[in-house]
Amino acid sequence: MRYARSRLLFGDDFDKLQGAKVLLLGVGGVGGICLDCLFRSGISDITIVDFDIFEESNQNRQLGSQAVGEVKVEYFKKCYPSITAINEKITPQWCETFDFSPYDLVIDAIDDIPAKVALAHHASNKMIASMGGAKRLDPTKIEIASIWKTHGDALAKKFRYELKKSGFKGKFEVVFSAEEPHCTHLGSFMGVTGTFGLTLCSLAIDKLRI
């Protein structure tokens, strides 16, 4: 039975996972791994949103990146037929018009700060988010905390600043790392970005089991 071992672990909560409706924004190095983990854990009603295609430079860290030139959401739809794929760019304007109400959980795996801020204003009561996984080498430094309690993460710092500037008063949990950067540009290691995605999935499952 496909989910026999998941049922052994989650018990009665497994039915909650199978009945959950999840929105995943961004299916790159973090989001793609998160998607795979969610699906393998028994969550099949997942809507993914991304506008990008796979490029050769993605191949050091992204699931599906062997399909250079393919639209990411369309590739993942072939891998996980039960999901809904939306090929659109996530912008503040998109967040203004999208209906978040049908979803039990919204997972932010994008790196555009204006869009992240807009998303927080529209879905923070059901949102978890990923901060910056680039430039790091040690997955054991990854933590989960309120966005207001993050430290040592440049993307989280910028996010906090822009949230305050926008008048945001809510809170939500994020996955972040306080590890010092090991390079100047966006170098990346799948051992870290993949662990970000898996940690995001684990946090999502904890939220959905409540």
Residue 83: DSSP 8-state: S
Question: Model's pTM, two decimal places?
Answer: 0.97
Confidence band, pLDDT 50/70/90 cuts, at residue 1: confident
**Phi and psi for 144 in degrees, rounded to 5?**
-120, 130
What pLDDT does 115 receive? 98
Order of strands across the sheet that contains 127-130: 84-87, 45-50, 21-25, 105-108, 127-130, 173-177, 142-146
Does the pLDDT of residue 153 top 90, yes or no?
yes
CATH number of the domain where residue 68 is located: 3.40.50.720
Tell me the pLDDT tens digit for each residue of 57-78.
999 999 999 999 999 999 999 9
Amino acid in the structure at residue 130: S
Tell me the pLDDT tens digit for each residue of 167-198.
999 999 999 999 999 998 889 999 999 999 99
What pLDDT does 87 receive? 98
The mean per-residue pLDDT over the stretch 25-53 comes to 97
Number of independent structural domains in the chain: 1
The answer to whether 122 and 145 have CB atoms below 8 angstroms apart is no
What pLDDT does 186 receive? 85
The answer to whether 35 and 43 have CB atoms below 8 angstroms apart is no
**Mean pLDDT across the chain, nearest whole number?**
97
Does the pLDDT of residue 7 top 90, yes or no?
yes
What pLDDT does 202 receive? 98
Those residues with Cβ within 8 angstroms of residue 83's Cβ, 6 or more apart along the chain or in another chain: 35, 39, 44, 45, 46, 47, 48, 76, 77
What pLDDT does 210 receive? 85
**Structural domain containing residue 175:** 4-209
What pLDDT does 206 receive? 97
Percent of the chain surpassing pLDDT 90: 98
